[in-house]
Amino acid sequence: QARVRVDGRDVYLGEYNSKESRVRYAEIMAQVVSGQAVETPTAKRSKPVESDSRLTVNELAAAYLSWADGHYLKNG
């Protein structure tokens, strides 16, 4: 995957060393040199998981310790 970093953001250009990536790179560099804004697509965020049952950190730690007691054996 070819990419270039512009203003701290990665812009993906296509398959590494492909004709498409080299053309896209030249276009972006021309925009940078001329002072034009370079469009950097934003990543899509996934939807948050909706659940009625929420686990607290304390409950998670207790469940892990219970599991670990059987999994990690002393002198085993």
Could you report the per-residue pLDDT of 2-54, keeping only the tens digit for each? 999 988 888 889 899 999 999 999 999 999 999 988 877 655 555 666 767 78
In the predicted model, what is the mean pLDDT of residues 47-67? 84
User: What global pTM score does this model have?
Assistant: 0.52
- Tokens 């310790």 sit on residue: 65
Do 37 and 20 meet the contact criterion of CB atoms below 8 Å apart? no
Instruction: Report the pLDDT value the prediction gives residue 76, as an integer from 0 to 100.
Output: 63
Instruction: Report the pLDDT value the prediction gives residue 46, as an integer from 0 to 100.
Output: 57
Domain positions in the chain are 2-34
∠13-42-26 over CA atoms, to 5°? Answer: 25
Instruction: Report the pLDDT value the prediction gives residue 8, as an integer from 0 to 100.
Output: 85
